[in-house]
Amino acid sequence: MAVQALNLEQSDTVAEIGCGTGLNFSILRQRVGPAGRIIGVDLTPEMLEKADRRVWLNGWSNVELIQSDADVYQFPDTVSGILSTFAMTLIPEYDEIIQKGAAALPPGKRFVILDFKKPENWPMWLVKLFVIVTRPFGVMLDLAERHPWESIDRYMTTIEFRELYFGVIYLCVGKAG
């Protein structure tokens, strides 16, 4: 759903912030084709090792992996879409990343975030239980105060905001102006 929302075309360049093990690469590659380019950015060398193995096993020559803090990464001039799945809320500097991404995208191109959020109407005991269950994935209660979708709204035109799974997950699509 998030990759589809990018509205990518063959030969586009897409950057994935917090690419992890590269699980989205095969879907992204279907969109950009072999002539397109996928840039996977992640801070963790262990994740990038797994992503590199996935790239090697599939023989993808159009995937570039970059180990970097997302907030210091410089988007290339050729970027046609930016994706972040279950990573943006974990990054304290998410506002800076979204601002730089919005500035790098050509008009009409998209920045898509699929991530966790604190559901509006959940009782606090249920929120705390969710945090305990998802703690192995880096989720902490203070992350509930981070709202990357507000940064999308600040620097771009939000064309879609959808809550999923009882409000625990959201999809936000911003379009560069």
Convert the pLDDT of each residue in 76-102 to its tens digit.
999 999 999 999 988 999 999 999 999
At residue 62's C-alpha, the angle toward residues 57 and 68, to 5°, is 90
The whole-number pLDDT of residue 165 equals: 78
112 contacts 172 by C-beta, under 8 angstroms: yes
* Token duo for residue 89: 């809320």
DSSP 8-state code for residue 155: H
The whole-number pLDDT of residue 144 equals: 62
Homologous superfamily, domain 2-118+146-175: Vaccinia Virus protein VP39 (3.40.50.150)
For residue 21, name the pLDDT band (cuts at 50, 70, 90): very high
**Cα 58 vs. chain centroid, distance in angstroms?**
22
2 contacts 23 by C-beta, under 8 angstroms: no
Domain boundary assignment for the chain: 2-118+146-175
Flag whether pLDDT at 38 surpasses 80.
yes
For residue 168, name the pLDDT band (cuts at 50, 70, 90): confident
What are the two backbone dihedrals, phi and then psi, of residue 171, each rounded to the nearest 5 degrees? -120, 125
**157-164 and 110-116 as β-strands: parallel, antiparallel, unpaired?**
unpaired
| CA gap 113, 3 in Å, rounded | 10
Flag whether pLDDT at 134 surpasses 90.
no
The dihedral sign for the CA sequence 143, 21, 166, 175: positive
The alpha carbon torsion through 130, 49, 54, 164 (nearest 10 deg) reads 20
Which has the closest alpha carbon to 96: 55, 136, 41, 154? 154
